Amino acid sequence: MALAAIQTIAVIGAGNVGRGIAHATALGGYRTVLEDILPANLRNAEMDIRVLVDDSVARGEVSRSQADAALARIEYASTIEDAVRQAEFVIEAVPDEIESKLEIFSLLDRISRPNTILASSTFSLRITDITDVTHCASRCVGMRFTQPVYAMRVLQVVRARETEDAVLAAAIEVGRRLGKQVEVVKET
């Protein structure tokens, strides 16, 4: 599989995990599109991300100019379609309810660009169970971010049954660029 260079990451779900991931991807240098169907969640996420970025500056982790550049890389979308339009990598971060995840992955399978990598942040569900509704299981992977995302250094990348080597390598590279210590685990 030929994968495009990852420049844009879409994050589906603007809850605590989703906004933490969006904060990390923007600081990691990625154009980031954070999606949520609830406008209030997007407004709250934008405020929280600004606070997180300002805290990163106060702790000396990034300069003000790096923080401003990160904030400029974040966009907000109210539909999954708008969020994934230009994304090479999508991270789903909605609550661990199988029906929601199946619906989202089924939609992502239909609307994502060819070769877009699809990741789920699930801790309690099997990636294979989620990706069975797609025609692109080889492009799917798990990325387990622990909370709070900005403070926790470990990221588990979960290789599902059909995850291709190139997809796994891309997820590992994204994790490292986010400043995470990446642990690769097999799905159990």
What was the pLDDT predicted at 2? 59
- Residue 3 domain-assigned (yes or no): no
CA dihedral 7, 11, 140, 97 (to 10 degrees): 180
Residue 167 lies in a domain: yes
| Structural domain contains residue 26 | yes
Query: 145: which strand partners?
Result: 155
CB 49 within 8 A of CB 74: yes
Please report the beta strands in the chain, taking only residues with DSSP state E, as ranges in sequence order: 8-12, 31-35, 74-77, 89-92, 117-120, 140-145, 154-159, 181-186
The pLDDT confidence band at residue 137, using thresholds 50, 70 and 90, is: very high
Residues 29-60: tens digit of each pLDDT: 999 999 999 999 999 999 999 999 999 999 99
DSSP-assigned letter for residue 62: S
pLDDT band at 1 (very low <50, low <70, confident <90, very high): low
CATH number of the structural domain spanning residue 97: 3.40.50.720
Give the pLDDT of residue 188: 73
The total number of structural domains in the chain stands at 1
Q: Backbone phi, then psi, for 144, in 5-degree steps?
A: -95, 100
Q: Is residue 46 part of a domain?
A: yes
Residue type at 135?
Answer: H
| Sheet-wide strand order for 8-12 | 74-77, 31-35, 8-12, 89-92, 117-120, 140-145, 154-159, 181-186
**Would 1 be classed as within a structural domain?**
no
For residue 154, being part of any structural domain is answered with yes
Q: Residue 139 — pLDDT band, cuts 50, 70, 90?
A: very high
pLDDT for 83-106, tens place per residue?
Answer: 999 999 999 999 999 999 999 999
* Residue-range definition of the domain harbouring residue 69: 8-186
- Mean pLDDT within 54-83: 96
pTM, two decimals, is 0.95
